[in-house]
């Protein structure tokens, strides 16, 4: 009977702890980056960079911008914001049952309840117009000798 009670207590404790977003979701997330055409340099305002297509891991609470660049194309900037995720809100609510103020504080401090939007980050690069060739000079036909 004691073994059964101990097993039930451990199982119950484990299930209650799983309600904490910091435990269930972690403090980082992966953001996928895509461009059309691929092969663009994607640099974040927080110092990460990669060549598309790629994936970076960032703290859940960070908001940042991507600047996409590729020779022959205009630079494009995309802002990445955070919002409360459905799974994050459920984990945060689990703190009411077990984690209390400490669990809520941990989730708020780590950003565990947040997700990045947009994810994936996708951009279509616009080609830079090539300068057109200067117009060819018009040929002028010399006029004949002046008439008298």
**How far, in Å, are 64, 96, 125 from residue 75 at the CA level?**
16, 46, 7
- Is the model more confident about 8 or about 63? 63
Predicted pLDDT at 74? 98
Predicted pLDDT at 130? 83
Q: Return phi, psi of residue 52, to 5°.
A: -70, 145
Tens-place pLDDT, residues 63-122: 999 999 999 999 999 999 998 876 444 444 444 444 444 455 555 656 677 889 999 999
Tens-place pLDDT, residues 17-69: 434 544 556 788 899 999 999 999 999 999 999 999 999 999 988 999 999 99
- Is the model more confident about 4 or about 86? 86
Query: What order of strands is seen across the sheet that includes strand 54-59?
Result: 54-59, 28-36, 121-124
d(CA 69, CA 56): 17
Domain ranges (residues) in the chain: 2-124
Predicted pLDDT at 148? 57
Computed over every residue of the chain, the mean pLDDT equals: 76
Q: Are 122 and 34 in contact (CB under 8 A)?
A: yes
């Amino acid at each position: 009977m004691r073994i059964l009670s101990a097993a039930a207590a451990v199982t119950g404790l484990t299930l209650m702890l799983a309600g904490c977003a910091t435990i269930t979701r972690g403090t980082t997330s992966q953001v996928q980056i895509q461009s059309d055409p691929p092969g663009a340099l994607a640099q974040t305002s927080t110092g990460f960079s990669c060549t598309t297509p790629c994936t970076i891991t960032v703290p859940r609470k960070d908001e940042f911008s991507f600047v996409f660049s590729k020779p022959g194309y205009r630079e494009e900037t995309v802002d990445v914001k955070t919002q409360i995720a459905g799974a994050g809100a459920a984990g945060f609510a689990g703190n009411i049952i077990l984690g209390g103020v400490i669990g809520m504080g941990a989730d708020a401090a780590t950003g565990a309840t947040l997700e990045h939007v947009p994810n994936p980050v996708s951009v279509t690069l616009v080609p830079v117009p090539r300068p057109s060739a200067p117009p060819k000079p018009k040929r002028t036909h010399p006029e004949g000798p002046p008439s008298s």
